[in-house]
């Protein structure tokens, strides 16, 4: 009888231990915080801009400033400011977006003076946990222009 009670307690303890181990795994796997999702608020932490004459500009070393980019329900907006020479230059955009794998398009609704409204900007986009990288411009076959391009790195804000 005593062995039966000990065996029963051991069986119950194994089941409790299994629940303690399995339950957090199940809860974490059902979490809605999808690290691969583009939706959310992202802050630019660095950028590299290559000009047609092979001049490299680095943000924030050569061009102080930053911007915030927000993706939500098929739309993206960004706002920021950069110091070019002695002038603070605004950076802003509102666009619809499409994302298919790493192929990303922004259909411009509003933009600062650099990109015409109504145009489509194609980018290569990567998300690695809380880091987002996009490179552009690309051609219609999603090939990056190797002579003049932008490489921007963002981190997800909580």
pLDDT in tens, 85-131: 899 999 999 999 999 999 999 999 999 877 899 999 999 999 999 99
Q: Residue 123 and residue 144: Cα distance in Å, rounded?
A: 8
Arithmetic mean of pLDDT, 27-32: 40
| pTM (two decimals) | 0.75
CB 47 within 8 A of CB 134: no
Of 100, 102, 138, whose CA–CA distance to 121 is shortest? 138
CB 156 within 8 A of CB 132: yes
Q: Residue 68 and residue 152: Cα distance in Å, rounded?
A: 12
Mean pLDDT estimate for the chain: 83
Residue 21 has pLDDT above 60, yes or no: no
Specify the pLDDT at position 26.
Answer: 39
Specify the pLDDT at position 12.
Answer: 53
Q: What are phi and psi of 29, to 5 degrees?
A: -75, -20
In order of 2, 6, 16, 92, 125, the CA distances from 12 in angstroms are 15, 10, 6, 61, 50
More reliable by pLDDT, 58 or 28 = 58
Specify the pLDDT at position 3.
Answer: 56
Residue 79 has pLDDT above 70, yes or no: yes
Helices marked H in the chain: 2-29
Specify the pLDDT at position 18.
Answer: 35
Where do we find the tokens 């605004």? Answer: 90
Confidence of residue 22 (pLDDT cuts 50, 70, 90): very low
According to DSSP, the residues that pair with 144 across neighbouring strands are 138
Arithmetic mean of pLDDT, 62-84: 95
Residue 63 has pLDDT above 60, yes or no: yes
Confidence of residue 57 (pLDDT cuts 50, 70, 90): confident
Give the 3-state secondary structure of residue 147: coil
Residue 62 has pLDDT above 60, yes or no: yes
CATH class of the domain whose range is 40-156: mainly beta
């Amino acid at each position: 009888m005593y062995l039966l009670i000990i065996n029963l307690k051991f069986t119950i303890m194994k089941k409790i231990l299994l629940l303690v181990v399995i339950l957090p795994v199940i809860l974490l796997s059902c979490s809605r915080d999808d690290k691969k999702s583009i939706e959310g608020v992202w802050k630019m932490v660095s950028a590299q801009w290559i000009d047609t004459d092979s001049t490299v500009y680095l943000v924030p070393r050569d061009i102080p400033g930053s911007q915030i980019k927000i993706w939500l329900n098929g739309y993206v907006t960004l706002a920021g400011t950069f110091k070019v020479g002695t002038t603070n230059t605004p950076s802003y955009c509102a666009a619809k977006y499409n994302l298919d794998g790493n192929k990303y398009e922004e259909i411009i609704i509003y933009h600062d003076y650099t990109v015409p409204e109504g145009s489509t900007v194609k980018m290569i986009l990567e998300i690695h946990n809380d880091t987002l990288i996009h490179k552009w411009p690309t051609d219609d076959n999603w090939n990056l222009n190797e002579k003049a391009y932008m490489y921007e790195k963002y981190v997800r804000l909580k």
